[in-house]
Amino acid sequence: MKQIVRITVGVVLLFGPRSALCQTESQRPRYEVRRATSPITIDGHVNANEWSQASPAFEFIFPWEQQTGAKQKTHARLLWDDTNLYVAYEVEDTDIVAQFTERDAWVYRDDTVELFLNVRPSQIAGYYGIEVNVRGAMMDYFCAYSADAQYYIKRFQMEGVKIAIQIDGTLNQREDKDRGWTVEMAIPWENFSDMAKPPQAGTVFTANLNRWDGVEPNRRLSVWADSKLNWPHPHAPAQFGDLVFVK
């Protein structure tokens, strides 16, 4: 059975410390974000015709062997135009589980995908986060940190974000075998105007895309860019990959 969840985001927010970060320089992954020839229809279907414009999808990696649970594949790709950043996730998942339905809940504890975006890579003191679980519950924030703490700024309000999810399976039915789910996002550039102008061809932002999967104790985090931390934690902006915007 297929299910669809849609959400249009107007408000957000959250505040709370997490662990301090390691900030060593290393080689980072690179992805060319091609320009969309027309707006993407945000319906949760990663349509081959629409997304064929994008650079080939990249696959998430599993840096932390201390985690247990299946290593299920996640692919992502991005497009852009003058108005939006478009993001698509394709997720293999044999057991689709999520409990949170409230805005700004700790959705990363569910089956969840994330986007961390730094629109001013000359600094790593702050970046934007969007986390969306398979039920369409969203937590977004501006993340800032010092040497001893990390904070999620609850007064930040993202507007006009469109999200749609397609589920190929049955949500929260543990006894059956599911196939996966897909996510599409359209994120208006206006949300980042305090830190940067919308990109042009040649602009480089940095980012990480992540996935939380499974139920404790068998749970895994997979990422596009390895945070280089020795515990499963994706918040390491010095290690984000490069998003290179091209025509």
Beta-bridge partners for 181: 91, 167
Confidence of residue 199 (pLDDT cuts 50, 70, 90): very high
d(CA 57, CA 75): 6
pLDDT tens for each residue of 59-85: 999 999 999 989 999 999 999 999 999
How many residues in total does the chain contain? Answer: 247
pLDDT of residue 27: 80
Query: How many domains does the chain fold into?
Result: 1
In 3D space, the residue among 65, 72, 69 whose CA is nearest the CA of residue 226 turns out to be: 65
**Averaged confidence pLDDT in the chain:** 89
Domain membership of residue 79 as a residue range = 2-246
Stretch among 16-25, 27-36, 160-169, 236-245 having the lowest mean pLDDT: 16-25
What is the CATH classification number for the domain harbouring 118?
2.60.40.1190
The four Cα atoms 210, 214, 215, 217 give a dihedral, to 10 degrees, of: -80
pLDDT of residue 147: 64
Q: Measured between alpha carbons, how far apart are the two ends of the chain, in Å?
A: 38
Name the token pair of 215: 């139920």
pTM of the model: 0.89
Q: Is the pLDDT of residue 45 over 70?
A: yes
d(CA 83, CA 189): 6
In 3D space, the residue among 56, 195, 59, 73 whose CA is nearest the CA of residue 124 turns out to be: 195
**For the chain, what percent of residues have pLDDT higher than 70?**
88
Strand pairing category for 74-80 and 30-35 = parallel
Please state the rounded mean pLDDT for residues 25-33. Answer: 83
pLDDT tens for each residue of 151-174: 878 678 899 999 999 999 999 999
DSSP at 154: T
Q: Is the pLDDT of residue 148 over 90?
A: no
pLDDT tens for each residue of 91-141: 999 999 999 999 999 999 999 999 999 999 999 999 999 999 999 999 999
Stretch among 2-6, 18-22, 40-44, 112-116 having the lowest mean pLDDT: 18-22
**For the chain, what percent of residues have pLDDT higher than 90?**
82
User: Higher confidence at residue 150 or residue 4?
Assistant: 150
The four Cα atoms 58, 14, 229, 133 give a dihedral, to 10 degrees, of: -40
Name the token pair of 114: 């994330």
pLDDT of residue 150: 78
Beta-bridge partners for 184: 88, 164
Stretch among 11-25, 100-114, 200-214, 219-233 having the lowest mean pLDDT: 11-25
pLDDT of residue 155: 75
Neighbours of 181 (CB within 10 A): 25
pLDDT of residue 115: 98
